Amino acid sequence: MTWLSDAATHGADFMQNCFINKIVSKNGKIEGISGIWEGKKLFVKAEIVVACCGSIHNPALLKRSGLRVRKT
């Protein structure tokens, strides 16, 4: 079993073979993601973004996006 089937059941959308350039934020609020999919520029507006790029690509995506860990 995976969490992917649960996510799909609850309305999540999936895109394969997509390169995400950055998580787009404005004034500290996430607006969505920008990237390339099937050779075309892509922008997906989203209130929630989950990065599942793995241990190497997640930090690279966060760095490209200019995001930092919030210290509480």
- Neighbour-count burial for 58-67, b at 16+ CB within 10 Å, e otherwise: eeebbeebee
Indicate whether 10 pLDDT > 70: yes
So where are the chain's domains?
15-65
Q: Report pLDDT digits (tens) over 34-51.
A: 999 999 999 999 988 888
Q: Please, what is the average pLDDT of the chain?
A: 89
DSSP conformation letters of 23-57: EEEETTEEEEEEEEETTEEEEEE-S------HHHH
A 10 A CB-CB count for 30 gives: 16
pLDDT band, residue 12 (cuts 50/70/90): confident
**Prediction pTM value:** 0.73
